[in-house]
Amino acid sequence: MRRLLRSPKIVVGLCLSVVFGLLAIIGPLLAPYSPNTSVSTTNGTPLPPSAAHLLGTTQVQQDVLSQLLVGGRSTILVSLVAGLAATVLAVLFGVTAGYFGSWADDGLSMLANIFLVLPALPLLIVIFGFMGKGTNPNDVVIGVIIAITGWAFGARQLRAQTLSMRARDFVDSAKVIGEKSWRIMTFEILPNLIPVVATAFLFTVIYGVGTYTALSFLGVISTSHWSWGTMLYWAQSAQAAQQVHLEWWWFVPPGLAVGLFGTGLALLNFGIDEFVNPRLRGGGTSGISGRRARRAGLPRRPQLGLTPVLDPARRAS
């Protein structure tokens, strides 16, 4: 477990994720203003950051920082719900398909493949578009709907892993003892799938953030429902990036927030990947750290077909 923490990728990823997690919980409490309040109605130009508005204002004089903090909770919550729901579906469908095989596997695999191939964003646009902008669905509902399009990837990974586990001895012995199928799946197979489940979860959360932000940016989800995507929608409508005096404080914070949140999760994912597959760890001669190699006079990069030979003068005693 401690080895996990030694990888810089995991540490950075963990820090970022924790920061954003906290943001989701206490963010709106920290906001100095309400995101909807227009501080003044006369000025039509966004104001740059100042003491009163740490991240400046929008075109209608709303505080950007407040929008960021309030919108953060919605964005992060939706992504987490999407990730959770999708992972539950993935485990259910993936492990069942892998364990039972034959027609259950064929059917569920075909279902998963269909959902994988179907382009998610256009489908979600149609769904949310028809839901109407009048209705204001809450974050959990949005998350679940997004999860419906995002479970297939994790399901495929889990099915593959379950298939290889099913052939192993400990499953056979459990069957011989007479353990019920659902018990075998839950207590014998599932614990071994934790890394895959973790990766699938993180991947789907990243997918959720991207998708939710995109949907808000498109205006398909009610634009009065504050999220980072919504901020970008308004910024784009006001052509904030095309103005001569770049209104960077309006569009950089929300975009950066999404990017950093996603990066934190992706780094965590890399870290888990490297932990599970040690060959991916680090660069340079596997098993010989770059420093040691250099001290011994060996080339830092291993070359295939050129096994290094220690110079007798530098041979370690």
Partner 1 sequence: MSGATSSAPSSVVGGVVNADPDVLIEVRGLCVDYGLGDDAVHAVVEADLELRRGEVLGLAGESGSGKSTLAYAITRLLRSPGVITAGSARFAGSVNLLSAGQRELRGLRWNEIAVVLQSSMNALNPVLSIGTQFSDVLRAHRPGMSRADRQARSAELLEMVGIPADRLSSYPHELSGGMRQRVMIATALALDPSVVIMDEPTTALDVVTQREILEELMALRNRLGFAVLFISHDLSLLAEIADSIAVMYAGRLVERAGASAIFRAPRHPYSLGLLSSFPALHGPRRAMEGIPGSPPDLRNMPSGCPFHPRCGYALDRCRSDPPPLLELDAGARAAACWLQDGRVAVPAELARPAAAPPAAVPPAAVPPAAVPPAAVPPAAAAPEAEPTGGRS
Partner 2 sequence: MRMMSRRITLYILTAIVAITVNFFIPRLMPGNPALAVLGRVQAQESKQAIAALELQYGVQTKTGLWGQYMQYWSHLLHGNLGTSLNSYPASVGSLIRDALPWTIGLVGVATVISFVLGTLLGVAAAWRRGTWLDGLLPAMAFFQAAPYFFVAILAVALFSTKLGWFPPNSGYDTTTVNPGFNGPFLSSVLDHAMLPAVTIVLASIAGWIIGMRNMMITTMDEDYVLLGAAKGLPSHRVVSYAARNALLPSVAGFSLAIGFIVSGALLTEIVFSYPGVGYLLFTAIGSDDYPLLQGIFLIITLAVLLANLAADFVYAFLDPRTRQEA
| Coil, helix or strand at residue 247 | coil
Residue 191 contact, options partner 2, partner 1, none, Cβ 5-8 Å cut-off depending on partner type: none
Between 61 and 213, whose beta carbon lies closer to partner 2? 213
Tally Cβ neighbours within 10 Å of residue 170: 12
CB of 145 to partner 2, least distance (A): 12
Enumerate binding residues for partner 2 (CB under 8 A): 9, 110, 113-114, 116-123, 125-127, 129-132, 135, 153, 206, 209-210, 213-214, 217-220, 229, 232, 235-236, 241-244, 246, 248, 251-252, 255, 258-263, 265-267, 270, 273, 277, 279-280, 283-285, 290, 300-302, 304-305
Least distance between partner 1 and beta carbon 280 (Å): 14
Least distance (Å) from partner 2 to the CB of residue 246?
6
Q: Which is nearer to partner 1, 135 or 307 (CB)?
A: 307
| 117 vs 313, beta carbon nearer partner 2 | 117
**CB atoms inside a 10 Å sphere around CB 256:** 12
The residues that bridge with 63 in the sheet, in sequence order, are 57
276-305 residues near partner 1, rule: CB under 8 A: 285-288, 292-293, 296, 298, 302-305
308 binds, among partner 1, partner 2, none (CB under 5 to 8 A by kind): partner 1
- Residue 52, CB-side half-sphere exposure with 13 Å CA sphere: 8
Question: What mask of x and - would describe binding to partner 1 in positions 236 to 275, judged by CB under 8 A?
Answer: ----------------------------------------
CA dist 89 and 26 (Å) reads 30
Burial category of 202 from C-beta neighbours within 10 Å (exposed 0-12, middle 13-18, buried 19 and up): buried
Shortest Cβ distance from residue 182 to partner 1 (Å)? 38
SS3 93: helix
Instruction: For residue 85, count other CB atoms closer than 10 A to its CB.
Output: 21
Q: Which of residues 21-40 bind partner 1 (CB under 8 A)?
A: none
Assigned token pair, 141? 């509902």
Q: What is the nearest approach in angstroms of partner 1 to the Cβ of residue 8?
A: 22
Structure tokens at 243: 């103005």
> Looking at residue 189, what DSSP letter applies?
I
Q: Which does 110 bind (CB under 5 to 8 A by kind): partner 2, partner 1, none?
A: partner 2
Distance CA 257, CA 230 (A): 13
Which partner from the list partner 2, partner 1, none does 88 bind, CB cut-off 5 to 8 Å by kind?
none
Closest CB to partner 2 among 2 and 279? Answer: 279
Cα separations in angstroms, 41 against 187, 194, 240, 247, 248: 62, 54, 19, 19, 22
Distance CA 179, CA 191 (A): 16
Between 19 and 52, whose beta carbon lies closer to partner 2?
Answer: 19
In sequence order, what are the residues at sequence separation of 6 or more whose Cβ sits closer than 8 angstroms to the Cβ of residue 48? Answer: 56, 247, 249
Q: Categorise residue 307: left if φ over 0, alpha if ψ from -120 to 50, beta otherwise.
A: beta
Residue with smaller CB distance to partner 1, 42 or 303: 303
Residues that bind partner 1 (CB under 8 A): 285-288, 292-293, 296, 298, 302-312, 315-316
